[in-house]
Each structure stands twice: as structure tokens, then as C-alpha cells.
Amino acid sequence: MKVKIMQRSVYHKYAEIEVEVPDLIDGDFHETHEWLMENEDLWSEDMDSTLSKAKYRFGNGISLDDAWTDWSEESEWRYEFPNGNGGHL
């Protein structure tokens, strides 16, 4: 008799970049989200390039003590202010 032995291992990449936003936004969540989405062309290529150079890490990239929360998605995007507040893109 034979049995199958199987393993499923999940790896992820993580990248972050800094984006200069206009001072008029002044940390407002709605305005920041709107500005980032309307100006995606100013930062998305930099993010793609940074992510392509990142090394794979073991695990799904989500832990209970961080801001990554979307277990059902294959990819998750966030922005964060210097004080740690932020939101999903």
C-alpha cells in the first residue's frame, strides 16, 4: 500500500515605499485615499519595482498584531501616516 505525503507552504513578498503627498491633505484619511487613488501613476510603478526586488518570506504575511487584515484576498494594499494610522487602498 502507498500513501501520499503532501505539503502546502505559503510564501509572500513585502514592499513599502514612501510617497510625498500635498501638505493640504494634512493627514485627512479621505483626502489621502482620494489623492493616492487619483495619482496612482506617480507611485505604482515604484511599488511594482520595489516588490519585484523583494525576497520571498515564509507565511502569508498576516499576523494578529499588524494592520494586514484581508485574509481572503491574494493581495492587500495599505497606506500609513507617520503616526501609524492609515487605511486600505
Structural domain includes residue 77: yes
User: What pLDDT sits at residue 7?
Assistant: 85
Structural domain includes residue 68: yes
- How many helices (DSSP H) and strands (DSSP E) are in the chain? 2, 4
Structural domain includes residue 38: yes
Contact 73, 24 (CB under 8 A): no
Structural domain includes residue 7: no
Structural domain includes residue 56: yes
User: What pLDDT sits at residue 66?
Assistant: 65
Q: What are phi and psi of 30, to 5 degrees?
A: -65, -45
Domain enclosing residue 60, as ranges: 15-88
- Please give the tally of structural domains in the chain: 1
Structural domain includes residue 46: yes
Structural domain includes residue 9: no
Structural domain includes residue 8: no
Task: Kindly report, residue by residue over 3-48, the tens digit of the pLDDT.
Answer: 888 888 888 898 999 999 888 766 677 888 899 999 999 999 999 9
Task: Kindly report, residue by residue over 38-75, the tens digit of the pLDDT.
Answer: 999 999 999 999 999 999 999 877 765 666 666 666 67
